[in-house]
Amino acid sequence: MKYLLLFVLLPLLGFSQSAPMTQEEAKEYFKNNKTEILGICEKQPLYEVLKGHRERELIESNGKLMQITRIHPDAQFCVGYIFMDAKKLSEEEIKEKREQIFKKHQSGIAFKDLIKEYNTDGNPSADFYSFSERGIVPQFTEAVKSHKTGEVFTIDVPDRGWYYVAIRNEDNKLPVYSVKVAALPKR
């Protein structure tokens, strides 16, 4: 009977929950585990999890450890993009893929589905990529600024071998969070 009582009381005493990570433990954890850096804008599901937190704060949610590295308080441009690397594709292949993307989009396929099919940089935020005017090469920024929300267009940065098909999303009005993310081990 006393073991049953102990079994019932232990969770109430807090012994079953792990203590939150310290900044030093998190730094070590990020160093030793696969980490992504994401820009989370108001249109992404993680935004609600991050909203109200401060820079350097640690957040555990949905099996992930996240640390806000920067909060961009200014309004930002928002695009969905498909990246094509000239180091891996010829000019002809890039041209063909762009034509396929435009045809599929015009036939009604959602741009986010085309990103999954064609994007080659592995960015999980490519459907809602946010950036400030200072944050991207001038060719990218100028191309985005010259198009309206919903328009699909190309961006060429030939000196770097970067070629894109992009769609201008509605710009972000709320802060954007730069976040370091790593999967937590299963407990």
Per-residue pLDDT at 12: 39
Of the pLDDT bands very low, low, confident and very high (cuts 50, 70, 90), residue 128 is: confident
Lowest mean pLDDT among 10-14, 97-101, 148-152, 160-164: 10-14
Of the pLDDT bands very low, low, confident and very high (cuts 50, 70, 90), residue 105 is: very high
Instruction: Check residues 20 and 116 and name the one with the higher pLDDT.
Output: 116
pLDDT tens by residue, 55-68: 999 998 888 899 99
Of the pLDDT bands very low, low, confident and very high (cuts 50, 70, 90), residue 33 is: confident
Query: Residues 95-123: what's their mean pLDDT?
Result: 94
Interatomic CA distance for residues 110 and 59, integer angstroms? 32
| Range among 4-18, 22-36, 110-124, 168-182 rated most confident | 110-124
Per-residue pLDDT at 1: 43
Interatomic CA distance for residues 128 and 78, integer angstroms? 6
Interatomic CA distance for residues 185 and 52, integer angstroms? 26
Query: Residues 65-75: what's their mean pLDDT?
Result: 84
Of the pLDDT bands very low, low, confident and very high (cuts 50, 70, 90), residue 19 is: low
Query: Residues 160-171: what's their mean pLDDT?
Result: 94
Per-residue pLDDT at 16: 37
| 3-state SS, one letter per residue, for the chain | CHHHHHHHHHHHHCCCCCCCCCHHHHHHHHHHCCEEEEEECCCCCHHHHHCCCCCCCEEEECCEEEEEEEEECCCEEEEEEEEEECCCCCHHHHHHHHHHHHHHHHCCCCHHHHHHHHCCCCCCCHHHEEECCCCCCHHHHHHHHCCCCCCEEEEEECCCCEEEEEEECCCECCCEEEEEEEECCCC
How much is the mean pLDDT over the chain? 84
pLDDT at 9 over 90: no
